[in-house]
Chain A
Amino acid sequence: MTVIKKNEVTYDAIVIGSGISGGYAAMELCTKGYKTLILERGRMVKRGEYPTANKDTWEFPNQNLLSQEEIEKHYSKQNGLSLWVYQDTKHWINKEDEYPYDEDKPFDWIRGYHVGGRSLMWGRHCYRWSDIDFGANAKEGIAIDWPIRYKDIEPWYDYVETFVGVSGQKEGLKQVPNGRFLPPFPLNCAEQHFSNQVATLPVAEKTVTICLFSVVSEIVYDKATGKAFGVKIIDAETREATKFFLRIVLNSRSEEFPNGLGNSNGELGHNLMDHHYGMGVSASVKGFEDAYYKGRKPLGFYIPRFTNIDEKTKRKEYFRGFGYQGTINRGQNHPEGVMGEELKQHIFKPDPYMLYMTCFGEILPYHENKTFLNFDKKDKNGMPIITFDAKLRENENGTTQGCGVKCGVEMLAAAGCEDIQSYNDLTSPGACIHEMGTARVGHNSKASVLNKWNQMHDVPNVFVTDGSFMTSLGTKPPSITYITLTARAVDYVHKQM
């Protein structure tokens, strides 16, 4: 991998952003022999350079907590759930005072600017979308229809899962098509370690060029050819502007052009979605007291969506549904109201097994939920400030929400769990770090930004393959679907050349 200083050079392809989609795009382009440039606005992170990954809680100051003062100064929005920002993660999360954004309605935008992006932080659950997901918009008359169905991308799921290494058990569910699985982790369905540093960038390494601290300010459009012919960047360290020239752009930052490139129908920036993250259940699980576990499993269990998948499970109160991710483990045993020698006797024995599961609810694609650039306000690089204006609406607030908790409680009670607790909080969009939409794929240029190959209707040599292409949200963690459509888009580009 060549790390270059900025120069005016021509490339076959330019990938904007080195996150999970950008890394995969660069690998595919390099493998097919294209001279590829990655523009990354943040710093370099090399494979293995993860300063805190192998440390235990007690190796950090203050039991891994940040001071309240530090959180207020740098992370107050992103730590809205008190869940993400700790001593062992803060170097992957932007300081808000350095990278500001605005909210017309509360939005927890959790992200870091560095090579690999959030592929260093993701939850690693990988489940295929099914036609229950792809067909939902058309069936229910919501937003616009997806221009693809499962059969269009099934071979591409096979292709990327084989590279990534996804472990799991073939359950044969119609809402979760079977994947190309490695053997499952004992008891649970889980996914092996995958980040851009470990996987895609080493494959691209021999031929890819990466340019750091490069904030893309503009994709330069050529009126004569109707194509993009370059990318303008601003150096985040020197504030100097440079141009790169190209033949194809794989754009992973489409929301940077809300009134500009690719936005002739005004759809860019609209239909912003994220999973509703405010519901969960916990309980104690009896039995297995004489057994223990060792090591750290990468993941716990997953319960896929089970409502509105067919006539039998149809709910009249709401559209779509929710899935759950959870873990069962034994914690510290310190019962309330006990002191002295008796407390010590408890402490030396492990706690009963505790189950925790979080609900991931589907938020519908609403045109009114949007993000846009405020050109009247600029950041330190002179870039317009991004503003979020999105909220949970009727389908999420009224019905889906309560049902996610109620179903969870019923399941745990039926499974014989005790001490069942639940929570049902209204969280802001963004909090689940699954923000999607804003440059959706569709059948035609009237209501979508991209065609079924992730290619911009307006500018045919610009492709968008990050989560912004999503036309609806689904309930599953999205990364595997992003990289599947990325690999498919690169193959399409290759066949057009």
Chain B
Amino acid sequence: MLGKDDEGVVKQPFIIKYTIYNLKDILKENNRRDYTSMNAKIEFYSYKRFIQKAKKGARYGGDYDDPCDTYNYEGSSTGGSSSSDTGSNFGLGTSSGGIPCAILVWSSGGEVFGLSWECGDGDSGLLEVKGGDDDCYGSGGSTGGSSGINDGNGPIDPREEECEPGHTFVDGECIPDNLEEDKIDSSELIGKSKCLNDKLNENGNNFVNDLLKKFKGKSEFDINIKSVKNVYSKNRKEYVNAITSYKKGDRNINIQISSEKISNMSVLSGIRTILHEYIHADIYRKLNTKDNQDEDEVKEFKETYLKYKREEHHNSMATLYIGSMTQSLKAIHKKILSREYNYLLESYGVETLDNIYESLAWQGLKNHKLDAWKNLGNDTTRINNTLKYYSHGLTKDCPK
């Protein structure tokens, strides 16, 4: 929906959601509804956020919980000319701040084309619902007060006018209209994989947060992570836990997680699988970046990577990431499965517990005949034994 305020200033497109509590009562004889008599909650949403969420498959209704503004409207058939096709009706309501407001709803043929309001704090205005190109991030429609009906974010930022054509002012900067959102798209993750991925994103330590941050915001690469029932390795000709792939020149790094395999894993092992794949994505980023190729971190990584003649990804991961993976697993275990963590700590002691995290970090690496694994010498026996004795007893259900 597009709008203009009472001074003729165009407003951004926005979404209005009406929750009408007396839908039956407002139905007139000619089968049209008299919206001026409605008792309703009127919520204004940013169309950008709406579109972004719609792309991710959110349902309108339950999944859109961040209106720019909310007004409660209580229509009355006694005021105005609600019985005619065109007119206004008076209602009492409250603004999103809970301040009482007198609200006039202007309608024609049962269709609302404007709202005017006067609130207890002196805020008043009129919103004409037609023609415009704006949104709730931007300018407001208020005349008398600091915040109009569509003015969730205060006064106009003068920098907004500096945006070039084809750009929109969002959160303090001009964003190209055709710029896709930079992201880690996990909308196709389901069940346990989705739950574990959410836990990792919400409870990850600094290493995890820094790693994922590289793909968020204005990143050079995006990640698309999704669940697939069975993930098949073309090279090994067998089903595997997960695959990460990269197409030359692409912005997306794709991760497939086997929902079948992950359903039989412990929570820690499942989180380790997802983290392992995110590290593969980070390796692809470091190898293919143009923006950050001169950074020391990238140069040093490539130096290690190029030392290996085969299994470059896994050899580099074993050399450079094992310690961080071990610490990440420990931190997240403490946070999301504290009872299990405390039980293992009391029963076996801190050394065994640390062995468990280190051994889990090696899962997914140790079977690839890596130089780094061979270099561990006798430690390989300790790691294998730890996995053998302790990994099966770990919690399998993703915590709520």
Q: Do A and B bind each other?
A: no
Residues on A lying within 8 angstroms of B by beta carbon are none
Residues on B lying within 8 angstroms of A by beta carbon are none
